Amino acid sequence: MNRATTLTIGSRVHEELRKLPSVESVLQNTEIQRSIEAKGRPLVVDTIRHVVEQARLEIETGLPCPALETLVERALAELETRDRPDLLSVINGTGVIIHTNLGRAPLSQDSRTAMDLAARGYSNLEYDLADGSRASRHLHAEDLLRRITGAGAGMLVNNNAGAILLALTALARGKEVVISRGQLVEIGGGFRIPEVMAQSGVRLVEVGTTNRTHTRDYESAVDEETALLMHVHHSNFRVLGFTQQVSLIELVDVAAQHGLLVVEDLGSGSLLDTSSFGLSHEPTVQEAIAQGADLVCFSGDKLLGGPQAGIIVGRTDLVTCLKRHPLARALRVDKTTIAGVQATLLHYLRDEATDKVPVWQMISLGVEEVLARATSWADRLSGLGVEAEVIPGLSTVGGGSLPGETLPTGLLALRVPSPDDLAHRLRTGEPAVVGRIEGGQFMLDPRTVLPWEEQDLLSALEQALQS
């Protein structure tokens, strides 16, 4: 481009910029005035500023100045979404039950009611109603945790990573913690067990190899600097072939001989036996306690099926020590979480988890039932001229639990010209729907779609397929 053309373009841009309507002039528009009444002046002014600024950038790239009406239209469109929260409900058609990116466990009706109740007004969160005196928030879930898991004591923190951080900081800061190289795992989202352990100020002593660790490896690593032995459940991967791991029972044995503690990170922390649902056996919290772990840490929103929380159960003296640690304050749970965890735990106490806890309802759903739902969806869509069929497939538990384990399922498979396009339209629709693409088909697994979401899902599908 020579100098003369550059100048011409420069002056054209300059001319267009001079035509750019001011924020004031957009504000005069009657529709904009009406939206000020509905949404308040600050939000509307802010939106118009944004729209005018976008137009300025557009002009600077060489485009002509948009008309005043165009700016009004853009501002009104932007106002539609600007005062809405951006955490949206999503219908999960992926068949991954504990989908971390989609918020892990959906909660039971009782849990939602309990959380709403706790949020609505005041509660006896830290108040003894009989005595009229101050009490601890830790007391609420503790009795339930004791009764269900058989542990001496229990407490809640924000999540399992927090539970591990607190346990190690309170019990082993400045000392050594022995762990097998086969258990230095990355959980997901860049979260690595050894890094959390390092944050707690303990010195990691790694023993064994990636595939094989023996009791003698622990025994030769233990010295007067050792505070505890850490055991981490392989929640999201499997080691096959020439392998050897020291079981929790064996580790407890080694610890007992040297007067050391054993902390178990169970990850998903199931309270039910997964092997009764056609899955392999995931160690339960009750088993870990019975096998002699001094403390057991697990998540509230994986196989427990409750709100995000970290749960610690174990020896009373140790849990007391954790509750008193300053870090416990930084990791403490909110009243709504306590209410939700409590309501979820009550389902287990009443032996009704498979009927009431969504994660377990989904796990225990029979394949015939899933197939029937997929078939009814296919029938409903058949009028649209879409190639919809029901095919056998697999659902997974997800959430870093039961790696490689699957549940037979029935999938609604749609053959469309562009599955990516359909997937995008469904994700950005209202409500948002997430499915999966396999073999060039767009698929939805009814197992993870909650019964009351079905009508909305079908309307979203009809809309997306027709557009």
Ligand X SMILES: *Cc1c(COP(=O)(O)O)cnc(C)c1O
Which residues lie near ligand X (CB under 6 A)? 159-161, 187, 232-233, 235, 265, 267-268, 299, 310, 400
Task: Give min distance, CB of 204 to ligand X, in A.
Answer: 15
Distance (Å, rounded) from C-alpha 261 to C-alpha 222? 12
Query: 397 vs 449, which CB is nearer to ligand X?
Result: 397
Determine the Cα–Cα distance for residues 431 and 275; give it in Å rounded to an integer.
35
- List, in sequence order, the alpha helices (H) in 325-408: 326-330, 335-349, 353-356, 358-364, 367-381
Structure tokens at 75: 């501002």
Q: From the CB of 312, what's the least distance to ligand X, in Å?
A: 12
Q: Which stretch of DSSP H or E encloses residue 271?
A: none
Contact, 136 vs 126, CB < 8 A? Answer: yes
Cα–Cα–Cα angle for 395, 398, 402, nearest 5°? 95
| Nearer residue to ligand X within complex by CB, 56 or 237 | 237
Nearer to ligand X, 194 or 408 (CB): 194
Angle between helices 160-172 and 316-324 (to 10 degrees): 100
Looking at beta carbons only, is 72 or 357 nearer to ligand X? 357
Q: Is 416 in contact with 437 (CB distance < 8 Å)?
A: no
For residue 398, the minimal CB distance to ligand X (Å) is 11
Sheet holding 96-98, edge to edge: 96-98, 387-398, 406-415, 441-444, 436-438
The minimum distance between CB 233 and ligand X, in angstroms, equals: 5
Contact (CB, 8 A) for 288 and 315? no
Calpha distance 105→100 (Å, rounded): 8
Closer of 168 and 232 to ligand X (Cβ): 232
Per the CB < 8 A criterion, the answer to whether 179 and 206 are in contact is yes
Smallest gap from residue 318 Cβ to ligand X (A): 19
Q: Which is nearer to ligand X, 163 or 371 (CB)?
A: 163
The Cα–Cα gap between 407 and 404 comes to 10
The count of other CB atoms within 10 Å of the CB of residue 14 is: 10
Smallest gap from residue 310 Cβ to ligand X (A): 6
Least Cβ distance, residue 269 to ligand X (angstroms):
9
DSSP annotation of 30 reads: H
Question: Closer to ligand X at the Cβ: 180 or 409?
Answer: 180
Which residue is at the shortest CB distance from ligand X?
Answer: 267
Cα–Cα nearest to 457, from 446, 295, 342, 466? 446
Q: Which CB, 195 or 438, lies closer to ligand X?
A: 195
Q: How far is the CB of 268 from ligand X (least distance, A)?
A: 6
